[in-house]
Amino acid sequence: MIQPRELSSDTSPSARHFGRLLERRWRDGFFLCVGLDPEYSQIPAFLKQGTEEEAVEESYYAFCRAIVEATAESVCAFKPNLAFFEQAGPPGLKALKRLGDYLRSRFPEIPLILDAKRGDIASTNKGYVASLFDYFGGDAVTVQPYLGGEALEPYLERAEKGVFVLCRTSNPGSAELQMLSAGAEGTPLYLKVAQLAANDWNSNRNVGLVAGATYPAELAQIRAVAPDVPLLVPGVGAQGGDLEAVLKYGRDSQGYGLVINSSRGIIYAGKDENFAEAAGVAARKLAEEIKTRID
185 phi, psi to nearest 5 deg? -85, 0
Which string of DSSP letters, residue by residue, matches 223-281? HHHSTTS-EEE--SSTT---HHHHHHHH--TTS--EEEEE-HHHHTS--STTHHHHHHH
- The answer to whether the CB of 18 falls within 8 A of the CB of 206 is yes
Q: Are 168 and 212 in contact (CB under 8 A)?
A: yes
User: Which residue among 48, 79, 97, 117 is the active-site one?
Assistant: 117
Residue in 206, 204, 207, 184 with CA at minimum distance from that of residue 195: 207
Three-state SS for 88? coil
Residue at 130: amino acid letter: A
Catalytic residue check, 117 = yes
Nearest to 163 by CA among 88, 232, 233: 232
For residues 295 and 291, what is the distance between their CA atoms, to the nearest angstrom?
6
- Output the DSSP codes for 158-222: -TTSEEEEEEE-SSGGGHHHHTSB-STT--BHHHHHHHIIIIIT-TTS-EEEEE-TT-HHHHHHH
| Residue 150 near residue 123 (C-beta atoms within 8 A) | no
Catalytic (active-site) positions:
117
